Each structure stands twice: as C-alpha cells, then as structure tokens.
Homo-oligomer: A and B are copies of this chain.
Amino acid sequence: MDEFDIERPADPELDNPVLIEGLPGVGHVGKLAAEHLLEEFDAELVRRIYSEHFPPQVTVEDGRTQLACAEVYAISAAERDCLVLTGDHQAADGPGHYRLTEAFLDVAAAFDVSRIFALGGVPTGELVETPDVIGAATTDDLIEELEAVDVEFRENEPAGGIVGVSGLLLGLGERRGYEAACLMGETSGYLVDPKSARVVLEALEETVPLDIGYDSLEERADEMEEVVKQIQQMEQNATAAPSEEDLRYIG
C-alpha cells in the first residue's frame, strides 16, 4: 500500500452533487448525521479510502475484519444528488490530516462537487434541551444563506476553531475554490447525541435541499433521553452523586 489506496466500487453520474462529511467527533454528532442519511436514502458506495495516516488497526464486526478507512457514498435523492463521507477514524498524525483531506477533495473533484457541508458537534459542557446549530463558512454568501435557515454565526464560536477533517475541508476546500460550511449542533460533550444530529440535519435539509425522514433518529434520541433520565435519577438518589461533569461518553 502506498500513502493512500483508493477503491472505486462505482462511478455513478451525479448532477452537481453536494459533499456531506460526518466523521467521529464531539458527541458523535457528525457521524450520527451521516449514518442517518445512509439509512434514509438509497446509498451506493463509490469510494473507499485507505491510508497509512489512519490508526494502524482493523475493526471487527461479527468476526469479519475491516481495515481502517473512510467511505464515500452516493445518494440520489429527488431534490439533489449528494456524496456522504463517513468512517470510524480521523487521521492519526498532523500532516496526515492535511493529506487525507486533500484525498477527500480529490474525490469531490472527480464527481464535480459544487458545495461542501461538514457536520459536527460543538461542546457546551451541560445538557442542552433545545440545541442550536452553530455555523462557520468560507463565504459571506453562504453565511447569509444559512442564517436564513436559523443557523447561528457567533462572534467567537467555536472558540478553539474547528479541528480535524471538518475544519480542513473548509480551509483546504476554500483554497481549491469550493464554497464550504460547517454545521455544528450544540451538545453536552458527554453523551452520544442523536438530538443534536437531528437539528444539524434539519438545517442541512433546508439548505441542500433534501427531504429527510427522522423516525429512526427519533428512536435513538428517545433512547438517549431514557439514559439521561436514569442518570439524573441516580444523581438524585446518591448522597455523593457524580456531577454532570463526571459523566463520560455514554451511548
């Protein structure tokens, strides 16, 4: 294997597609959102990207191994063709993040992608009843367009910038001439958060546009609500209860 090894299982003709990225990150919001799209639409695997910049490991499912990779699926929706980029890993080294993102942008170029949406979460440190969607974008036009669908653009948020593939899809994407935006759902940062994934998808579907069903995501959100209630119950019962801050990822 070279630095990159790219499989091309299919090469469908797409009409002016949008690239939507959801890799692991805060609250798994981006990955949940991307996986929901793959469930809701007919999705065809078009690229599998292997790289020595991924962690040196295989995942195992029902005994079968899969080398660390990212996958790109084509979604042919009535409203707009999309490519969905997802996977189980970010890059494991700094320059690797840059090079992987360039490899992803090469795929985008091969399919004549016009716009890029990176999906993720922004940590608030506390449970959020009705999460907002925070945005960041490469052009003022796109900011305006997203503000019209209630995405919030705040003066200094996210304070630490956007790290990893999501950030670089905007940073490197802009240098290649792509309009790109990152949609970040507010999330505690302690729990896998399907509710946050849903509000991100709702902002996305109005912009792309897409017509997304939410039944299965709703179910996952309800399950997490149950988990949260149980935790809160445990907190009230315990004398020395763990604080909200003590909770690590559950879900």
Contacts and interface: CB of A to CB of B under 8 A. Distances in A.
Contacts of A9: none
A56 B168 contact: yes
Interface in A139-169: 140, 143, 153-158, 160-165, 167-168
A93 B58 CA distance: 16
Interface residues of A, number: 57
Contacts of A153: 62-63
A53 B175 CA distance: 17
A44 interface: no
Given A1-B98, A58-B162, A63 B172 contact: no
A35 interface: no
Given A64-B137, A138-B65, A57 B162 contact: yes
Interface in A201-239: none
A68 B155 contact: no
A102 interface: yes
Nearest to A158: B60
A93 B93 CA distance: 9
Given A91-B56, A136-B58, A163-B56, A65 B174 contact: yes
Contacts of A157: 60
Contacts of A53: 94-95
A162 B60 contact: yes
B52 A161 contact: no
Given A53-B95, A65-B182, 12 more contacts: A52-B94, A56-B94, A57-B164, A58-B168, A60-B162, A63-B137, A64-B143, A65-B161, A65-B167, A65-B170, A68-B171, A93-B95
